Amino acid sequence: MASSLIPPQPVIYLVEPFGGSIRRQNANIAHVYWDDAAVTRGDGIFETLLIHDGAPVNLAKHLARFRRSAEALDLPDPGVDHWVKATREAVADYYRERGEIDDTSAEAKCVWTMTRGRETTGVPTAWLTVRPVDPLLLRQRETGVKTVTAPRGYTITSGATAAPWLKVGAKTLNYAASMAALRWARKHGCDDVIYVDHEDGRVLEATTSTVIIVRKDKKLRTPAPGSEILAGTTQQAIFEYAAEQGWRCKAKDLYVDDLLSAESVWLVSSVRKAVRVTELDGRVLSEPGRDADIRELVELALLSQRDV
């Protein structure tokens, strides 16, 4: 039994690149150096996975995106086996240390990080953490979130005016602007920001999640991923499963009016799962009376992607 007097510590594993060692890192000891590219330049990639019932959810999609992110940033391929092994070991440690070895029903959050590494070595720094899901997100799954739309403040140029070195679809550590957006939303009594294109008003994504709308007659819609919309692993899992259940699922341009006229609007991400948007720019989005069905759909979709 874990003592309740000791606050739970995250489990950290260092994952040495190029087939090196996987080893536990004491969470009370810093392991990132002053000259790491993550620290000096925000130069690295990450993935956030949900651990459900003792196993990672949507593992294949996270692995695929992690590798795509590395490629887009000209980082070495992080590989697969190493990360899977480290994740399993860390998850086992996590539940054992909480005395929950036979009760892994509590969800956890696992984050993979790989940076360009120390300036002095040039070898990527990589590690993963496993820790409890943020209580705020657990609460939001129940209460939903109040959101406000706003332009993102910057646009990625594409086509002939694209920068040749910027590849889209990478999940990088450059999230300071999104964090600023979240702080701004909270100051204004909201929980999150849904970005809209500053020119044509297209709905893009929320600060750290994908937008999905539910329409009558079992239809699901999400904005098509591209240079301004990260392809969401959770959204993909939901659409794949829902399609099998007879839903008609499409990625297409959405506008604020589409959100207002939808049966319900959801923000989805790995650890958040699905939270309903209860307010959009001050307008209450009424409860459609089918929240439970949608939640169950999401739950089953994620379980179908659980890696056992």
Nearer to a copy of itself, 82 or 152 (CB): 152
Candidates 69, 87, 129, 278; binder of a copy of itself (CB under 8 A) is 129
Neighbours of 155 (CB within 10 A): 13
| Closest-CA residue to 225 (of 203, 193, 207) | 203
Alpha-carbon gap, residue 101 to 54, rounded angstroms = 9
Q: Which amino acid is at 167?
A: K
Candidates 16, 55, 64, 172; binder of a copy of itself (CB under 8 A) is 172
Nearer to a copy of itself, 154 or 246 (CB): 154
Tell me how far CA of residue 260 lies from CA of 7, 229, 266, in angstroms.
43, 20, 12
**Both tokens of residue 250?**
């499409």
Contact between 226 and a copy of itself by CB under 8 A: the answer reads: no
| Closest-CA residue to 268 (of 222, 203, 202, 219) | 222
Nearer to a copy of itself, 25 or 304 (CB): 25
Contact between 261 and a copy of itself by CB under 8 A: the answer reads: no
Contact between 186 and a copy of itself by CB under 8 A: the answer reads: no
Q: Which residue has the tokens 């506008």?
A: 255
Nearer to a copy of itself, 67 or 152 (CB): 152
| Closest-CA residue to 68 (of 42, 45, 88, 102) | 45
Minimum gap (Å) between residue 62 Cβ and a copy of itself: 17
Which one of 15-23, 58-66, 145-153, 282-290 is the stretch in contact with a copy of itself (CB under 8 A)? 145-153
**Both tokens of residue 166?**
């910027």
Minimum gap (Å) between residue 290 Cβ and a copy of itself: 34
Alpha-carbon gap, residue 56 to 219, rounded angstroms = 28
Minimum gap (Å) between residue 201 Cβ and a copy of itself: 11
Which one of 135-143, 179-187, 235-243, 289-297 is the stretch in contact with a copy of itself (CB under 8 A)? 179-187
Candidates 76, 132, 151, 226; binder of a copy of itself (CB under 8 A) is 151
In degrees rounded to 5, what are phi and psi of residue 234? -70, -45
**Residue 10 DSSP one-character state:** P
Contact between 247 and a copy of itself by CB under 8 A: the answer reads: no
Contact between 224 and a copy of itself by CB under 8 A: the answer reads: no
Of 44-83, binders to a copy of itself (CB under 8 A) are: 44, 46, 73-74
Contact between 156 and a copy of itself by CB under 8 A: the answer reads: yes
Do 50 and 302 contact (CB within 8 A), yes or no?
yes
Candidates 21, 174, 245, 261; binder of a copy of itself (CB under 8 A) is 174
**Both tokens of residue 271?**
């650890």
Alpha-carbon gap, residue 206 to 147, rounded angstroms = 9
Note the residues at the interface with a copy of itself (CB under 8 A). 10, 12, 25, 27, 29-44, 46, 73-74, 111, 113, 115-116, 127, 129, 150-157, 161-166, 172-181, 183-184, 198-199
